[in-house]
Amino acid sequence: MPGTTTQTLQGGRTALTMSTAAFTACFAVWTIFSIIGVRIKQDLGLTEAEFGLLAGTPILTGSLSRLFLGVWTDQYGGRAVNLLVMLSAALATFLLSHAETYIQFLVAALGVGLAGGSFAVGVAYVSKFFPKERQGAALGVFGAGNVGAAVTKFAAPFVMIAFGWQSVAQIWAAVLAVLAIAFFVTTRDEPDLIERRKTGAKAQSMLQQLAPLRSLQVWRFSLYYFFVFGAFVALALWLPHYLVSAYNLPIIAAGMLAAAYSIPGSLFRIFGGWLSDRIGARKVMYVTFGVSAVCTFLLSYPATTYVVDGIHGPITFRIAIGIVPFVVLLFCLGFAMSLGKAAVYKHIPVYYPNNVGAVGGLVGMIGGLGGFVLPIAFGLLNDITGVWTSCFMLLFVLVSGALLWMHLAVRRMERRRMPGLGDLPELPEMASLQRPETGASDPGRAAPPQIP
């Protein structure tokens, strides 16, 4: 039966290669407003909050569609669903180049966001070709398509300056359409879909697919992904604008530096998948949240000038993060998030092998919603506080909450599996000094002397 072998099934390598290429193009389109949005903001005179809404609107569509696209992939196959998603997103991206008003841009952005839904399709499609011992690495390779955000940051500024932002939208749309057709032609259907066609078996219904979503564990995974992926997308959209405004960099330089965050946040996902297969996804998540908490705490500290009353008069000094340490911290944050993105999706085929589409779709939807909500929150915090680093303050609170919930859940599972852990002394080496319990097996034995 498909899925019981320990070897990669026929067509698996091609499916992984083409799915990764397709997802890279989709992600490049999905984050297109990170570059062209800066020029549109200037042309329309948008506020910070309006810009955050425009940049986050494609993320909304891509997120909400993931749940249904994941289920449809399990029912109808990844090839047909992905072809439809990519061609629809390509058409919307081309029409974006003809938008003129803010409302028109928002409507076009909703269609562009369909490109983000390809992730749920790819996870459900690719996982069917690999045994569970290799799914972490395989999904890590597929997830490296997040590097499409860096492709946009590297290439789009040059195209925009040379030919205008409209050309960026048109070229990205054409590439997406070509890759959609190439993906459909070169890949084959999933093994379980082929088996169902042979036997005439029916796929699980929508309600059956969604049944695991009642589990609190699924929603906990979703919170993890809200940070490791949602915050990644949010920063990928926000950083060029942040660097232009906070550090007064030109748009090309801002795009290059923002890629220092996007590239490790994407490519190291492959390493995260491999590492999750080797040492376990839980340990990887602890590393992810620990490093991210440190990085966001340091990045959240605003540039501050202090005046101290010295012996010979006031002493003034300033604490601020320069552009070099800022980029280094971003690299570390992106690296940690890449590990976490792979680790979260390592759990899903293992815990829910028959509902990868639905569970993966929900987790991806909640994570994607982070990419929609957070840019808007960043803009609102800027308007309210007037502090650029407020975005990292919010992320520090978010990752600290996720780390706490995960740790409490792990401790609760450990106590459930080994109830005796709760009876162990805090210091095992002092156990011999404790008083014996009432009803001991040797009642005639004298109790040890009490220690004052």
Residue 263 lies in a domain: yes
Residue 428 lies in a domain: no
Higher pLDDT: 356 or 105? It is 105
Helix (H) / strand (E) containing 78 = helix 78-96
Higher pLDDT: 300 or 68? It is 300
Provide the pLDDT confidence category of residue 90 given band limits of 50, 70 and 90.
Answer: very high
Residue 411, classified by CB atoms within 10 Å of its CB into exposed (0-12), middle (13-18) or buried (19+), is: exposed
Residue 441 is predicted with a pLDDT of 45
- Mean pLDDT along residues 99-106: 91
Highest mean pLDDT among 54-58, 182-186, 258-262: 182-186
- The yes-or-no verdict on residue 168 having pLDDT over 90 is yes
Residue 356 is predicted with a pLDDT of 66
Residue 404 is predicted with a pLDDT of 92
> pLDDT tens for residues 1-21?
444 455 556 677 888 999 999
- Mean pLDDT along residues 367-371: 81
Please say whether the dihedral angle defined by the alpha carbons of residues 241, 157, 266 and 94, taken in this order, is positive or negative. positive
d(CA 30, CA 428): 54
d(CA 168, CA 225): 30
- The yes-or-no verdict on residue 78 having pLDDT over 90 is no
What is the percent of the chain with per-residue pLDDT over 90, rounded to a whole number?
Answer: 24
Residue 442 lies in a domain: no
> pLDDT tens for residues 21-36?
999 999 899 888 888 8
> pLDDT tens for residues 109-127?
999 999 988 888 888 888 8
- Mean pLDDT along residues 60-68: 82
Residue 286 lies in a domain: yes
C-alpha distance across the termini of the chain, in Å: 67
Residue 161 lies in a domain: yes
Provide the pLDDT confidence category of residue 398 given band limits of 50, 70 and 90.
Answer: very high
Please say whether the dihedral angle defined by the alpha carbons of residues 248, 298, 263 and 124, taken in this order, is positive or negative. negative
- Quickly tell me which residue has 């938008």 as its tokens: 99
- The yes-or-no verdict on residue 332 having pLDDT over 80 is yes
d(CA 389, CA 261): 16
Residue 444 is predicted with a pLDDT of 45
pTM of the model as a whole: 0.66
Q: How many domains does the chain have?
A: 1
Residue 4 is predicted with a pLDDT of 47
> pLDDT tens for residues 263-319?
776 678 778 888 888 888 888 999 999 999 999 999 998 888 888 888 888 888 788
Q: How many degrees, rounded to 5, is the angle at CA 178 between CA 173 and CA 181?
A: 125
Residue 435 lies in a domain: no
Residue 298 lies in a domain: yes
CATH number, domain with residue 105: 1.20.1250.20
Residue 432 is predicted with a pLDDT of 56
d(CA 97, CA 109): 11
The domain of 38 spans 12-197+218-416
Residue 150 lies in a domain: yes
